[in-house]
Amino acid sequence: MASAEAFADTSALYAAVDARDAFHRDTAPLVRQLAQAGRMIITTDYIVAETLNLAVARRSRIVADRLLQLLETSSGLRIEWIGRYARIANSRCLNKRSPFCRSWL
C-alpha cells in the first residue's frame, strides 16, 4: 500500500514553481497527480528556506514570491518545523508579517 504522504526536497519545490527549471515539465504534473490522489506533500522549514534562497539567487523575487504564495495557500502541503522556536520565526516569514522577511526576499 502506498503512503499517503510524499516528501519534497529543495529541487522538487523549486522545479514545481519555476517553469524554466529543467525538471519543471516532469515535476508540475507529478505534483498535480499527488494532489488529485489526495496525497499530502511534506517538507521542512529548512528546505523552504533553502528553496527561497535558490529562487532569489537563480531568478528573482518573483519566483520566491510565487513559492511563498503556493506554500501559504496549499492545503496539500505540510511543513515540518525543525527546532523549538523555528515554527514561530518561520511562520512569521511565510505570513509576511516580519519586515525582515520581506526585505530578505
The sheet carrying 5-7 orders its strands as 5-7, 40-44, 77-80
pLDDT tens for the chain, 105 residues long, are 456 889 999 999 899 888 899 999 999 999 889 888 989 999 888 898 899 899 889 888 887 887 788 777 888 888 888 866 665 666 656 555 444 454 443
Length of the chain: 105
For the domain spanning 5-104, the CATH number is 3.40.50.1010
pLDDT at position 104 is: 40
Q: What is the SS3 assignment for 78?
A: strand
Neighbours of 77 (CB within 10 A): 20
Closest by CA to 47, choosing from 90, 102, 104, is: 90
